Chains A and B, each alone.
Chain A
Amino acid sequence: MKRFPGVVASDGVNLGVRQGEIHCLLGENGAGKTTLMRILYGFYQPDSGEILLSGKPVKISSPSVALAHRIGMIHQHFRLASTLSVEENVILGVDEGMGPFLRLGKTRKRIAAITEEYGLSVDPKAKVWQLSVGQQQRVEIIKALYREADILIMDEPTSVLTPQEVDQLFTTLRILVDDGLTIIFITHKLDEVMQVSDRVTVLRQGKLVATLPTSQTDKPSLARLMVGREVVFRLEKNPPQQGEKLLEVDRLHTLSDRGLPALRDVSFEVYGGEILSVAGVSGNGQTELAEVLTGLRKATSGRILLGGKDITNRSAREITDDGVAHVPAERIKMGTVSNMSVRENLILKDYRHPPFCRGIFLNYKKAEANAQRAMAEYQIAAPSDSSAAKLLSGGNIQRMVLARELSGKPRLIVAVHPTYGLDVGATEQVRQVLLRQRERGAAILLISEDLEEVMELSDRILVMFSGRVMGILDAEEAETGEIGLMMAGGRREGVRR
């Protein structure tokens, strides 16, 4: 059992994992999966309870003890030193009995043996920052194998991969398990559980709900166990009613923070009453696209037309006033001012206009009325409208952001990862809100890395790779496989440039 101040993160969980299996640990965000695994890896100490390895009780007081027990962990955010080479990362912290001196010849041979046996090709002399995300993950696996791990804990390993890379990873995992390794696979994606695991343990609010053989269960029952109630898999969605062309992006170019091209020749259109999704592996220009559209980043060339009016490189305020809503990816850092009250956060956009202001003074009565209305309409659970926004849970913060952004009936909504990190209930709600806006006739640009979400919500899907548009597909006809190939840089035949 592990308690954090005020919260029991892992409560009386009894988890049994068999040697040579892939055991999925399934649960929503905040269900205590990662906490449990961090206890196993020695990052946290349990407040009570014990860990048995092959029947013997062990005390894992730090990661080095875990490593000594041949437990390896691959974190969701890789633990690699990016300026170091692959081989340096692999041997980091390994004692090879030579004191401080290295035996690079021997090291390289062992790395070569591992990469060959498990098909984990990667150049050992390359610096980590030069590698793709998929290759970096391979380095993490090599690191664990180099330390002769018997148990491999993987925390949401697919969240950063393209569908093809996921398939490759699953193949590798199978080979590892056939070789006698045991893998604990943390995820909240039901498809992955069904695809990869031998058994699955479901956690909910820090408690263990069930452990089942995967072959004896299915997606709906797992979802029910995970959420604690029935889950609707298909959203009710009316056929699209395409309105007028609201957003036109024409040969847009921009640079990233580091001064490298982030968008190259990006052109597309969004119509009223439709959801256009932008799919892609993170870091392929989606963030920059949202920023240019909302006035937070300068375009180096190209044009953005909103309802025929040129808004290229206008300020964020002008663009907002023209009816563009922005649901930013970082809802806490960018979407809210944490120390301000819910009431104040809700008028961040409109405080300059009546009825919320009178000259230079704010009209708090109107702000309060506005807050009460928004809290009721969007079901924002907060102690009161004067509580600080930072006290709200992720789902409530997102509903608050939506309430603010969607007030005043925007023409265009730019939503970036709107459901990222939310639980199933909140996710459903956010999606419903977006669909309602679509019905109303707003144009919605949805940027998401969650392919399932993209497939479910969109009318058309734009795939980005390396700052370019790889193609725009009709959601009805699109297949995950094809999208995956485009996400990895394959251009669709006959794409309109």
Chain B
Amino acid sequence: MGWETWFIVTLSRTLAYGTPLLLATLGEIYTERSGVLNLGVEGMMIMGAYAAFSTAYTTGSPWLGIVAGALVGGAFSLIHAFASITLKANQVISGLSLTMLGLGLSGVLGRGWEGRPLPASIPEITAPGLSKIPFLGPILFEGQNLIVYFSILLVVVMWYILYRTRIGIAVRAVGENPAAADSLGISVNKVRYLCTIVGGILAGMAGGYLSVAYRPAWTEGMTGGMGWIVIALTIFAFWNPAIGMLGAYLFAALYHLSFRLQPWVSPELLKAMPYAFAIIVLIAISRGTLHKKMGAPAALTLPYSRGEE
């Protein structure tokens, strides 16, 4: 295998594996920007994966599967939203419980679904003409599916909303100083609910991508810790969708290389890199004003009640 082919395959797989990371990270960025830390990403993803697979298997439509995954992810996030926003429970505990619940529940429900072949998965498409572009063509336009492109479009849309619209200003204000937003007539709880649900929907969709597109099959615990990488990625991205895209592909590349470089580099080392990066970022922003410059939401994990200061 020549060097060019090697790179093309690596980057093409990076794009495919980076897509679920990207989807879920975009969601978690919105959730955290509004001041809610949801550590239940892993749980929402695996529930989404299960729902997508069983729906796709039953109906025969992988697209319906993706929709089901997104809906179940969104519904699952409501548990966290209710506990942490309405009941003002500890967000860390609530999020962790969500992960435990998702892993356990999907394991129970998914019994008997393992090893079944999916009648149809999300089709890979090859764009005629475009795929002939040297080097980039085979990476971007050959053997990828529509969700890959959708996720890239979503980066642009979600970046624009966050930084260039009234909605985005409200989301950022709620995550930074909920009292300020409240005194200007913005409903802090509503914004937080919506952002948490967006996070759930995208995490569910990411799970669905895994079970009906990336590797069309259901296995218990098939998300394999991807939800934790998403948490690390959100920090690595400085809560910015554009950097989130770079990060998702970087981490996906590391994951992919951990297999391909196995003879030379320990795969465990490469797989640990995302977490190492996240720790470096956390150390970096804990010093000085970088914290503010980089947009870390000041009210993250803090419940809001009017009149308490």
Binding site for B on A (CB under 8 A): 38, 41, 43-44, 62-64, 67, 73, 75, 77-84, 88-89, 91-95, 99-102, 127, 129, 143, 258-260
Are A259 and B287 also in contact (CB < 8 A) when A83-B295, A92-B169, A129-B292 are? yes
15 CB-based A-B contacts, threshold 8 Å: A43-B307, A44-B307, A79-B183, A79-B184, A80-B177, A81-B180, A82-B292, A82-B298, A83-B176, A84-B173, A92-B184, A93-B185, A95-B166, A129-B292, A258-B288
Find out whether the CB atom of A101 lies under 8 angstroms from the CB atom of B307.
Answer: no
A-facing residues in B126-184 (Cβ within 8 Å): 161, 164-167, 169-170, 172-173, 176-177, 179-184
**Shortest Cβ distance from residue A29 to the other chain B in the assembled complex, whole angstroms:** 14
Does B282 make an interface contact (CB < 8 A)? Answer: no
Provide the bound-state CA to CA distance between A44 and B295, in Å: 32
Are A89 and B180 also in contact (CB < 8 A) when A83-B295, A84-B169, A84-B172 are? yes
Closest 10 CB pairs of A and B: A64-B185, A93-B184, A79-B180, A81-B176, A81-B173, A100-B165, A81-B177, A79-B183, A100-B167, A129-B292
A-facing residues in B271-309 (Cβ within 8 Å): 287-289, 292-293, 295, 297-298, 306-307, 309
Provide the bound-state CA to CA distance between A129 and B180, in Å: 14
**Which residue of B is nearest A129, CB measured?**
B292
Q: Which residues of B contact A95 (CB under 8 A)?
A: 166
**Which residue of A is nearest B296, CB measured?**
A83
Q: Which residues of B contact A82 (CB under 8 A)?
A: 176-177, 292, 298
Q: Which residues of A contact B309 (CB under 8 A)?
A: 77
Q: Which of A43, A91, A100, A127 contacts B161 (CB 8 A)?
A: A100
**Shortest Cβ distance from residue B270 to the other chain A in the assembled complex, whole angstroms:** 33
**Shortest Cβ distance from residue A492 to the other chain B in the assembled complex, whole angstroms:** 30
Does B89 make an interface contact (CB < 8 A)? Answer: no
**Which residue of A is nearest B288, CB measured?**
A258
Does B257 make an interface contact (CB < 8 A)? Answer: no
Provide the bound-state CA to CA distance between A383 and B295, in Å: 49
Q: Which residues of A contact B288 (CB under 8 A)?
A: 258-260
Q: Which residues of A contact B96 (CB under 8 A)?
A: none
Q: Which residues of A contact B101 (CB under 8 A)?
A: none
Q: Which applies to chain A's interface (DSSP): helix, strand, loop or mixed?
A: loop
Does B64 make an interface contact (CB < 8 A)? Answer: no
> What is the total number of residues of chain B having a CB less than 8 Å from a CB of chain A?
30
Provide the bound-state CA to CA distance between A120 and B94, in Å: 45
Find out whether the CB atom of B177 lies under 8 angstroms from the CB atom of A79.
Answer: yes
**Shortest Cβ distance from residue A70 to the other chain B in the assembled complex, whole angstroms:** 13
Find out whether the CB atom of B165 lies under 8 angstroms from the CB atom of A81.
Answer: no
**Which residue of B is nearest A95, CB measured?**
B166
Find out whether the CB atom of A63 lies under 8 angstroms from the CB atom of B183.
Answer: yes
Chain B CB within 10 A, most for which of A82, A99, A100, A143: A100
Provide the bound-state CA to CA distance between A279 and B172, in Å: 36
Q: Which of A67, A77, A102 contacts B166 (CB 8 A)?
A: A102
Fill in one digit per residue for B173-199: 1 if any A CB lies within 8 Å of its CB, else 0: 100110111111110000000000000
Find out whether the CB atom of B177 lies under 8 angstroms from the CB atom of A63.
Answer: no
Q: Which of A64, A79, A81, A129 contacts B172 (CB 8 A)?
A: A81
Given contacts A43-B307, A83-B295, A260-B288, 14 further A-B contacts (CB under 8 A): A80-B177, A82-B177, A83-B176, A84-B172, A84-B173, A91-B166, A91-B169, A92-B169, A92-B180, A92-B181, A94-B166, A102-B164, A129-B289, A143-B184
Find out whether the CB atom of A92 lies under 8 angstroms from the CB atom of B176.
Answer: no
Are A83 and B298 also in contact (CB < 8 A) when A77-B309, A260-B288 are? yes
